[in-house]
Chains A and B, each alone.
Chain A
Amino acid sequence: MESSDGEAVDKRRVHLRPVTLRDPAPVLLHLLPCEVLVNRPAPVGLFFTPAIRQGPDGLEVSFRGRSLRGEEVVVPPGLVGYVMIEEKGEVLLGKQDFSEGMADDEQEERELVEPPEALERDFDRFIGATASFSSFTLWGLETIPGPDAKVRGALTWPSLAAAIHAQVPED
């Protein structure tokens, strides 16, 4: 945690590229019950996906010799799943992208309307969606994660958050 003494002032904003949210390709997602300590390409379609079978208790597969059981979990209604990747040091490129599809006069108009301090600054960073999903496969070791699984609890959070943050009625 960096909140204690001497924390750097964090002015940075990470802009989400709106164009990338438009028609992102669907993605196949699996949540595994084990930690793989790397982030890198993996031949999932060669070893994992073709080995998935429909068994009597849901989906079956094995990973590193261990037996996994899983099922499809649907994203709660009203939500969209996105996979996002942060970009590195492409600020200028980013600015061009944002004005893409904007007519010249529109752009001029916008610049006039824009407040003196712009939302987007040189030191800001960018993040973009690479893919979207409406469900993922949840895997457990030997058995399907039950109703008490933490991830299932987490998926109910948005409906509770809506109640906590809804405006209260006036007196």
Chain B
Amino acid sequence: MAAGVDCGEGASARQHVFLVPDTACFYRLTDCGNSALEYLKEASKKMKSGLMFVKLVNPRSGEGVSYLFNMCLPQLFEIKVFKEKNHSWFINESVQSGGLLHFATPMDPLFLLLHYLIKADREGKFQPLDQVVMDDMFPNCILLLKLPELEKLLQHVTEEKEIDKKKYYKYSKEKTLKWLEKKVNQTMAALKTNNVNVGARVQSTAFFSGDPLSSDKEEDYIRYAHGLISEYIPKELSDDLSKYLKLPEPPASVPNPPSKVAAQRQKRDK
């Protein structure tokens, strides 16, 4: 991989070009009282190690990928990398090979929790969350337990029991499919409102047969949205979702929509 070339003598440290939500770097903007700028300055001064990159599981593939955590919000961000052949950066007075562009975008932590809930479901019983979210390979997964409103999130995908004021959870496929259907619907809506962008992307993937701007092939939108959501759930669940949505079997020659950042996940060569 060209970007991984070690440059030997005279080489500089690798520079990473990142796009990050402007709210991610500080405390929530809505918490600001009077002057937003002053607040941000104060907040960032006081902030300790709030932002960090950690390796966690990719719920689709089971591999390790980097995520960005903001422990001050707290919030989870997914990292995707734009990478295309034959690109490089000029960054001020330097050159950086690879031409990689990293995106940090907010991620619904429920996709990651779901990975662990499904795994734990093999035992077929109600369990406390801290016994579900355990991972020898990616011990940083305990950070997920610090995210806010977990109980509320879990209602979408689990049955729960409360015993002695402690909550116990069990994966519910039925509820999960309902939740995923809502995800598909809101993704479809976004695909439609982002018409121009979607059009360009769709043409490049040759996924839709006709011109998506003029056609109103609902089925194509559903399938596309299903493909996007499927990147965050295990294959088996994706297949179940396909049946649940009553999606016809796609023609064998048509691949699933590729990763939207025409690129790979965070490089794995660290």
Using a CB–CB cutoff of 8 Å, the interface residues on chain A facing chain B are 1-3, 7, 9-16, 18-19, 21-22, 27-45, 48, 75-76, 78-86, 88, 98-102, 106, 110, 119-120, 124, 127, 129-131, 147-148, 150-154, 156-169, 171
How many contacts between A and B, using CB within 8 angstroms? 282
| Given contacts A3-B268, A154-B262, A35 and B85 within 8 Å (CB-CB) | yes
Chain A residues whose C-beta falls within 8 Å of the C-beta of B201 in the assembled complex: 153, 156
| Residue interface mask B1-22, A partner, CB < 8 A = 1 | 0100101001111111111111
Q: Within 8 Å of chain A (Cβ to Cβ): is B131?
A: no
B139 touches A38 (CB 8 A): no
Stretch at the interface among B102-110, B115-123, B163-171, B241-249: B102-110
Chain A nearest CB from B103 CB (Å) reads 6
Closest CB-CB distance, B246 to chain A, in whole Å?
20
How long is the Cα–Cα vector from A167 to B229 in the complex, in angstroms?
13
A148/B46 in contact, CB under 8 A: no
Indicate the member of A11, A31, A45, A164 with the most B CB atoms within 10 Å: A164
Which B30-66 residues have a C-beta within 8 angstroms of A?
A: 41, 44-55, 61-64
Contacts of A161 in B (CB 8 A): 78, 103, 105-107, 260
Q: Which residues of B contact A167 (CB under 8 A)?
A: 108, 153
Contact partner, A102, options B46, B51, B189, Cβ 8 Å: B46
- CB of B84 closer than 8 Å to a CB of A: yes
Give 4 closest A-B pairs by Cβ, nearest first.
A163-B190, A3-B63, A156-B197, A168-B182
Are B16 and A83 in contact, CB atoms less than 8 angstroms apart?
yes
Instruction: Take A3-B63, A85-B15 as given contacts and tell me if A165 and B48 are in contact as well, using a CB distance cutoff of 8 Å.
Output: no
Question: Is B88 a contact partner of A32 (Cβ separation < 8 A)?
Answer: yes
Cβ–Cβ contact A168 & B90, under 8 A: no
Closest A residue to B68 by CB, please name it: A16
Q: Please name the residue on chain A nearest to B178 by beta carbon.
A: A171
Expressed in whole angstroms, the minimum distance between the Cβ of A157 and any Cβ of chain B is 5
- Is B82 part of the binding interface, using a Cβ–Cβ cutoff of 8 Å? yes
Q: Are the C-beta atoms of B53 and A14 separated by less than 8 Å?
A: yes
- Could you tell me if B15 and A3 are in contact, using CB atoms closer than 8 angstroms? no
> Within 8 Å CB of A13, what residues of B?
52-54, 140
Contacts of B99 in A (CB 8 A): 31-32, 35
B99 to chain A, nearest CB (A): 6
Find chain B residues with CB under 8 A from A42 CB: 90, 93-95
Given A13-B52, A35-B85, A80-B22: A153 touches B91 (CB 8 Å cut-off): no
* CB neighbours of A14 from chain B (8 A): 52-54
Q: Is the CB of B47 within 8 A of A18?
A: yes
| B213 at the A interface (CB under 8 A) | no
Say yes or no for B113: interface residue by CB 8 A criterion. no
CB <8 Å contact, A9 and B200: no
| Cα separation A110 to B49 with both chains bound (whole Å) | 12
Q: Is B183 an interface residue (CB 8 A)?
A: yes
Q: Give every chain A residue within 8 A of B136 (Cβ-Cβ).
A: 9
Q: Could you list 21 A-B pairs, sorted by A, with CB under 8 Å?
A: A7-B137, A18-B49, A32-B90, A39-B11, A39-B13, A39-B95, A41-B93, A42-B90, A42-B93, A44-B94, A75-B19, A78-B22, A80-B25, A85-B14, A120-B48, A154-B260, A156-B194, A160-B260, A162-B105, A164-B228, A164-B229
Q: Check A79 against B194 for contact (C-beta < 8 Å).
A: no
Q: Do A32 and B87 have beta carbons less than 8 Å apart?
A: yes
Closest chain-B Cβ to A101's Cβ sits at a distance in Å of: 4
**Which residues of the other chain, B, contact A158 by a CB distance below 8 angstroms?**
19, 21, 103, 105
B82 close to A81 (CB less than 8 A): no
With a cutoff of 8 Å between Cβ atoms, the chain A residues found around residue B20 in the complex are: 79-82
CB contacts (< 8 Å) of A131 on chain B: these are 91-92
The answer to whether A119 touches B49, judged by C-beta atoms less than 8 angstroms apart, is: yes
Besides the known contacts A44-B90, A82-B20, A166-B186, 15 further A-B residue pairs in the complex with CB atoms under 8 A apart: A13-B54, A15-B49, A21-B44, A29-B89, A34-B86, A38-B95, A40-B10, A41-B93, A80-B19, A84-B18, A153-B261, A154-B101, A154-B261, A162-B190, A168-B182
B172 within 8 A of A: no
A165 touches B260 (CB 8 A): no
